[in-house]
Structure 1
Amino acid sequence: MITGEDTVSGTALLLAAAPAGKGCLIDAASALPALAAVSPSTLTGTAAATVIELADPLAPQTVLTRIRAAAATAGPLSLYIAGQLHLDHKQRLVHLALARTTPTTLRYTGLPWHWLTGELKLRRPGTTTVVVDLVADAEAWEQLGVEGLALGYGTRLYGRVAPPPPRRTIIAPAYLNAYAAIWRSGAQPPLAQLHQQAATRAGTEGALLLAVDAPPALTAPVEDGARTVQRAAPVQGGAASGWQPVSEGRPVFGESRAASASTPASASPPAPGGAPAPGSEPERHDRTPAPPPPGSHAPVTAELPADDPHPAILAAARAGRHTEAATIAAMWESETLRMYGPGSTQAIHWLEVRADLARLAQDAARSCELWTAAAEARLARRQPPGDEEVEAAADRAHHQWEQIDDQARAGLLAPALVALRRQVPGRRPGALQAIERRLENLPSAHGKFTAF
């Protein structure tokens, strides 16, 4: 520890972790010697600094204890993380793999990403910086493409997430190594500029670049063909924002409550399974444009209002930058959960935003899951089954379930949807029967689905 009088002391936690053996995708530990050669004050941006190293830790509880202790410090905190991300098959949660992690033991030997988020969200906004150099396996990479990778409001997040490498290939933590090399050269550019320089050196082809500044600033996108995440300042609640649930098939973002209320009462609700009622083909303002080809990243350039992130999220989603849109939404949801708590109308609002973003990203299964969760959350708040918002969430969940091509995944999601439809049958008869008819044609490990 470097000490001095009348100085602000910062803390840097260097975490490098990857599974031992054939499950290793990145030589994470090789980032530590390069970072350790940098002065502690450079790592933290403070005159006095404490540096903690964790090299290939074995137990997630050990890592959590160190992170919790570092997060409890009053001064600036900087985390540098090198490793690989995997997806828990049961709960579909992203984990950072540790030394003993295997595909079958991930839930018990990996560090859940939301643990890290939970510890850092307790810190004062603007005092925490996280820099990551990660590689994702195939399943985690697919989910990151829809939901992004976030740490919550008030935390600066910079980094690079690489897609899964070819089989039996172990990549180097080139992004963090570039940080160290730039610092050792004597240069100390601002963090946003350092991120761009390191990303360029490490290579951006196919990678997900994270550039999330602390409020209230917007981050400058890296205009080099890679996907980049940016954000605005948080909104104080979602119920009064510019996005309100409307009937399936109509645009979700940009609809005010007044606009929704102006819809003629005689308009027919969607038919079971999401098909429009005869003679009521909805306007298709919500079709998703094809994602831009590699190398054609188009950052959001519109001036964004400080109190409403929805235009930025929608612009990113419609431009095919689904990871960017999902990450911004996840950060706003995290702050909303902190301010209002789970089950609040504000939290449900952001759950519905993420559900519709999954639809725009053409991930029908994830959209179905989220819309089902939103409907269940509204019912838990004692909103009646005939409430317009409850019915809209249930109809959307049903519609997205009908769009799932993976029959096994549709079968897994069916029980929750059936239970929901029994509570919320909707305004048109036959919704539950429509699900049962499709289930008759879905194969299972024991033949047909007969439990419904």
Structure 2
Amino acid sequence: MPGTVLLLAASPLGRGRLVDAAGVLPVLAAVAPAVLSGTDTANVVELADPLEPQAVLTRLRAAAAAPGPLTVYIAGQLQLDRRQRLPHLALARTSAATVRYTALPWHWIREELRLRSAADTALVVDLHADAEAWRYVVERGLDCGRNTAVFGRVAPAPGRRGPAEPLYMKAVATLLRSGHRPALAALHEQALARIAESSAGRDLILPLPGGPAPSLPFPHQATAPPGNGHVPHTTSQEFAGPDRIPPGVAAQVSPGLAQTPPGIAATPRAGEWSRRPGELAAPHVAVGPQDPHAAISAAVRGGRHGEADVLAARLEQLAVRVHGPASDEALHWAEVRADLAMFAGDAVRSCRAWLAVAGVRLAAGQAVDAPAVEAAVDRAHHQWGRITDVAPARELGPALAELRLRVPGRRQGALENVQRQLCRLQAAP
């Protein structure tokens, strides 16, 4: 099975630039795709100084949806938004005042990878952080999720010397240009050794001490010639979902990439099902105790969407009984079911499920700008836009509009978009 590689290099244009992130792309691009991926063949998506966070999100979703191993290489800089004080990956148009709307929230990366398996998902990062973001990472770490192996570093701002170089990522690329990719942990150590003189005692090395130990993904290292693909051209929408890739991406992408369900076969998150194996033996829950996601993934890939939803529904009901409807466990399975409805092509059911998730989170006291709340409303909005029947669209539209009043999200004009569409629906015969 081919692997997928996403190369993302981003930093602001102008005075706010801390690192010449895109300068590493020519070196990475000289590496054979199969070596970048560690698989026999690989499809590569390259993003150099992208402008829009939504466009980056769409490409990340498409990459996360691909079967087989995924490696994401990220070079760039971290900044905090002024409202939530959360880390973002700065993009070309980002300034200190516009981080919330022009940068990619780091938790979007974590959320898009959360349903994948740590055995086949890896982040390789070389990040520079401004003063505020540096304090944040030193005090709190950088949350990349429990299901992703992470290797790399975070460095402080270079001061007045001008933009820094992504030395760690350049070292990784130089090592890979030999045509051999060692295990990621070994590659990480070799790259750190190459930059030790410039980074010793200064950088934060990922994974941070005390964090989850990285997995060692992709056991079948390969140096075979790269596979080739092409870019599927689809129509970009304002609220793009995981089943769309806007045109114009500089990539080699498998033609079926955007339509493939994401890797739901993820290991249970720490603190979730893995610590209560007996609970998964409840009546009618016909899965093994360690990885219910694997059974769901197999059903989706086999086209057995009803079977997948029944299994997820039983796990959701079990979580509600044990932990309550607003628990992380119950909401996790509710979100899985919302995604399963999307994979089955049932936009009505998916929209309804995301609306319910958003309602539960708000009723539990979560903030209107909490990442999980915004994500639920955005996904409900996207699925609502894909409903083709007038009656259910009319039914769900007012509930979405009411939520949009409370949760405007990061895209300007979201509420107006719903209101305009509702007017069109009301005028329809």
Q: TM-score, normalised by structure 2?
A: 0.50
Question: Which residue matches 1:290?
Answer: none
Partner residue in 2 for 1:147: 140
Contact 1:19 1:101 in 2 (8 A): yes
User: Which residue does 1:40 correspond to in 2?
Assistant: 33
For structure 1, the residue ranges without an aligned partner over 5 or more in a row are 1-7, 218-232, 241-306, 308-335, 348-376, 382-452
Q: Any conservation in 2 of the 1:155–1:213 contact (CA below 8 Å)?
A: no
CA 174–89 in structure 1, closer or farther in 2 if over 3 Å, else same: same
**Paired positions, count:** 235
Q: Give the alignment partner of residue 100 of structure 2, picking from 107, 111, 120.
A: 107
Distance change in 2, residues 1:57/1:143 (3 Å): same
Per-residue CA deviation, residues 187-235 of structure 1 (Å, 9 max, x unaligned), is: 4322111101111212332101113655599xxxxxxxxxxxxxxx934
Distance 1:69 1:238 in 2: 28
Larger Rg: 1
**Partner of 1:86: helix, strand, or coil?**
strand
The equivalent residue for 2:415 is none
**Structure 1 residue 87 corresponds to structure 2 residue 80:** yes
Q: For 1:18 and 1:341, locate their aligned partners in 2 and report how far apart those are by CA, in whole Å.
A: 43
Q: The residue matched to 2:150 in structure 1 has which SS?
A: strand
* Pair 1:179-2:182 in alignment: no
Mapping of residues 273-422 of structure 1, within 5 Å:
343-344=326-327, 380=364
Partner of 2:243: none
Q: 1:81 to 1:344 in 2, by over 3 A?
A: same
Q: Deviations over 1:229-280 (max 9, x none)?
A: xxxx93447999xxxxxxxxxxxxxxxxxxxxxxxxxxxxxxxxxxxxxxxx
* 8 Å contact kept, 2:17–2:163: yes
CA contact (8 A) 2:52 2:102 kept: yes
1-side partners of 2:23 and 2:82: how far apart?
29
- Specify which structure has the higher proportion of helix: 2
Q: How has the CA–CA distance of structure 1 residues 28 and 342 changed in structure 2, closer, same or farther, with 3 Å as cutoff?
A: farther
Shift of 1:181: 1.1
Q: Given the two structures, how large is their TM-score scaled by the length of structure 1? A: 0.48
The residue type paired with residue 17 of structure 2 is C
Detail structure 1 runs of 4+ shifted over 3 Å in the superposition. 211-217, 235-240, 339-343
CA positional deviation for 1:106: 0.7
Alignment of 1:9 with 2:2, yes or no, is yes
Cα deviation for residue 42 of structure 1 reads 0.6
Q: Shift in Å at residue 168 of structure 1?
A: 4.8
Change over 3 Å in CA distance of 1:84–1:236 after alignment to 2 = same
Distance in 1, matches of 2:167 and 2:215, equals 28
Distance 1:341 1:103 in 2: 40
Using CA pairs below 8 Å that are at least 6 residues apart, which structure has the higher relative contact order?
Answer: 2
Q: Would you say the 8 A contact 1:76–1:128 is kept in 2?
A: yes
**CA contact under 8 A between 2:35 and 2:179: conserved in structure 1?**
no
How far the C-alpha of 1:343 sits from its partner, in A, is 4.6
Partners of 1:21 and 1:345 lie apart in 2 by 41
Cα distance change of structure 1 residues 342 and 208 upon mapping to structure 2, 3 Å threshold: farther
1:31 corresponds to 2:24: yes
What is the match of residue 210 of structure 1? 206
Structure 2: gaps (5+ residues): 218-268, 277-289, 291-318, 331-360, 366-429
- CA drift at 1:51: 0.7
Q: Measure, in 1, the Cα distance between the counterparts of 2:323 and 2:43.
A: 34
Distance in structure 2 (CA, Å) of the matches to 1:157 and 1:128: 9
**What displacement does 1:380 show?**
4.7
- The residue that corresponds to 1:22 in the other structure is 15
Please report the RMSD computed on the Cα atoms of aligned residues, expressed in angstroms. Answer: 3.2
Opposite residue 207 of structure 1, the aligned amino acid is D
What amino acid sits opposite 2:35 in the alignment?
T
Residue aligned with 1:141, SS:
helix
Indicate how the Cα distance of structure 1 residues 178 and 345 shifts in structure 2: closer, same or farther if over 3 A, else same: closer
The CA distance in 1 between the partners of 2:145 and 2:191, in whole Å, is 23
**Separation of aligned partners in 2, 1:343 and 1:137:** 36
